[in-house]
A and B are shown apart, each in its own frame.
Chain A
Amino acid sequence: ELKVEQNPLFLSMQEGKNYTIYCNYSTTSDRLYWYRQDPGKSLESLFVLLSNGAVKQEGRLMASLDTKARLSTLHITAAVHDLSATYFCAVDANFGNEKLTFGTGTRLTIIP
């Protein structure tokens, strides 16, 4: 059974600071996704990582994938209040059934 764990579960940080959210998964995969969810809303796609060593950046967010370590990171640079949300990683375990297994989520609060 594929397990996907995120760390930390809760993160409170000041504006302007940098931080990293970690996503570990338990089985081989080279397809990993990051999503943002605002309260009461559905998911917004942030990044699609499809190979080992993939790195993508959008604004203050950067995501990377290390398939050998079964680890993905979401790095936040110079955080601003608008980034407050819950962030999920999700893994497609390449079992041929296209299913995504979601991480536990990281609730991020940016304090002015």
Chain B
Amino acid sequence: GAVVSQHPSRVICKSGTSVKIECRSLDFQATTMFWYRQFPKQSLMLMATSNEGSKATYEQGVEKDKFLINHASLTLSTLTVTSAHPEDSSFYICSARGLALVNEQFFGPGTRLTVL
């Protein structure tokens, strides 16, 4: 149980385009989802926290107009990187926490974004 999926697993796009990443909880309802970014050989940095049906809370320094987060249902959150640039290239990982699983976050497999 407690499986989180992400799609796509890998995406390459041109500079200036937008990319959408989906995060799904497959076998539980995720009241809260988190989006992280990880640069090579570095730790995970939290970008934003999203709760179903409400606006995401962004961490300091994360541009909310550039990284659009939508948590439209209890099993799906999306991250859209708008007008992507090479410096946005990174490994994006989502995690989810459920009502019955409050003491743990379950991590998705990650999405490798490369912006050319």
Contacts and interface: CB of A to CB of B under 8 A. Distances in A.
Contacts of B42: 105
8 contacts: A42-B93, A43-B44, A88-B43, A97-B49, A97-B57, A98-B32, A104-B43, A105-B42
Which 7 pairs across A and B sit closest by C-beta, in order of nearness? A42-B110, A43-B107, A102-B43, A102-B44, A42-B109, A105-B43, A42-B107
A100 B59 CA distance: 12
Interface in B17-68: 32, 34, 42-46, 49, 57
A80 interface: no
B108 A42 contact: yes
Give the interface size bracket for B toward A.
20 to 34
Contacts of A43: 44, 93, 107
The contact size tier of chain A is 20 to 34
A42 B92 CA distance: 9
Contacts of B46: 99-101
B110 A99 contact: no
A35 B32 CA distance: 20
Interface in A9-59: 31, 33, 35, 40-43, 45, 48, 50
